[in-house]
Amino acid sequence: MKHLLSALLTVTLFISCSKDKDEVKDYTAQNEKEITDYLAQNNLTATRTDSGLYYIIEEEGDAEGETPLATSNVTVAYKGYYTNGNVFDQSDEQGVAFSLTQVIQGWKEGIPHFKEGGKGKLLVPAHLGYGSKDYQSIPGGSVLIFDIKLISVN
C-alpha cells in the first residue's frame, strides 16, 4: 500500500509538472495595461479593435491608393520593437513583400486599416502576435509595436 501511494504520488506530480510546462498563459490583461501605459507615456491616441489590437494612422496615404484585404499580397516597410524601445526586427526602406495570410494575426487585422502610402503604428498584444511561448528571440507574452509604411498592395 505504501509503495502504491508513493507511485501514485510520483505519477500525479509528473503529470502536473508536464501540464504546467505546456500550459498557455493568458497575458490579455497584462498586455492591455502595458499598451495603455505606453500610449499614455508617449502621448499617443490609438484606436482599439474588438480583438485588442491598437492602431494609429499617422499618414492617411494616397487618396487613390488601395486598401488591402486580410488575404492581400502587400509590400511593407516596418520596424518592430517592444514597449521599452528595443528593436527586434526591421526591414529596409524598400520593404518586404508577402501575403497577409502568412503573418501574425495582428498584421492580418491591422494592415487593412492602411491605404497604400499610409504610415502608422500597430500595437499588438501577445494573443495576436506570437502568444505565450517564446518565438525565436521574442519572449512569450510580449506586446509588439510596429511602425508601418504600406508601400503597395500587389
Instruction: Tell me what the mean pLDDT of segment 118-123 comes to.
Output: 98
For position 133, what pLDDT does the model report? Answer: 93
Residue with cell 490583461: 29
Which grid coordinates are listed for 8? 501514485
Which grid coordinates are listed for 127? 494573443
Residue with cell 480583438: 51
Q: How confident is the model at residue 124 (pLDDT cuts 50, 70, 90)?
A: very high
pLDDT above 70 as % of the chain: 85
CA–CA distance, 40 with 144 (Å, rounded to integer): 16
pTM as predicted: 0.85
List, in sequence order, every residue forming a beta bridge with 89; answer none if it has no partner. 80
Residues whose CB falls within 8 Å of the CB of residue 70, separated by 6 or more in sequence, listed in order: 100, 101, 108, 109, 112
Q: What is the pLDDT of residues 2-16, one digit of tens each?
A: 433 333 333 333 344
Instruction: Tell me what the mean pLDDT of segment 23-31 comes to.
Output: 91
